[in-house]
């Protein structure tokens, strides 16, 4: 299992707590230290809709004024690769699946 995110994010912390309580081994990839590239993002998008992966509610989105740019899908993907803070968190790779965000009910079903 690989978990991508930022340790200071409250949603990531909830997900990590849940996974640790289940005693599941994982590798944590912190966006602050290891950038997620466009190839990895496109790999995730084979399983997850761009609307799910692209965080248009966060501070980074507002700060960059991306709404004003009316980005198409390729533009959004380029921005995700440039600014990993735009990726909804966490992203988990587990048994061939890509899981985005944290919902306790959903995690109980999967893990």
Domain count, the chain: 1
CATH number of the domain at 8, please. 3.40.30.10
Q: What contacts 90, CB < 8 A, 6 or more positions away?
A: 3, 4, 5, 9, 11, 12, 15, 16, 100, 101, 102
Model confidence band, residue 97 (pLDDT cutoffs 50, 70, 90): very high
Q: Is the pLDDT of residue 67 over 90?
A: no
Q: Which domain holds residue 11?
A: 2-110
Q: Mean of the pLDDT values across residues 100-109? A: 96
Residues marked active site are found at 9
Q: Mean of the pLDDT values across residues 40-65? A: 95
Model confidence band, residue 61 (pLDDT cutoffs 50, 70, 90): very high
Q: Mean of the pLDDT values across residues 43-61? A: 95
Q: What percent of the chain has pLDDT over 70?
A: 100
Q: What local confidence, expressed as pLDDT, does residue 91 receive?
A: 99
């Amino acid at each position: 299992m690989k978990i991508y995110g930022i340790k200071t994010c409250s949603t990531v912390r909830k997900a990590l707590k849940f996974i640790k309580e289940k005693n599941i081994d994982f590798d944590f990839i912190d966006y602050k230290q290891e950038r997620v590239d466009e190839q990895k993002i496109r790999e995730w998008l084979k399983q997850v809709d761009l609307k799910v992966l692209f965080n248009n509610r966060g501070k980074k989105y507002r700060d960059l004024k991306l709404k004003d740019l009316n980005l198409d899908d390729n533009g959004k993907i380029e921005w995700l690769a440039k600014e990993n803070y735009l990726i909804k968190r966490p992203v988990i790779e587990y048994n061939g699946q890509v899981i985005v965000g944290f919902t306790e009910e959903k995690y109980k079903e999967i893990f």
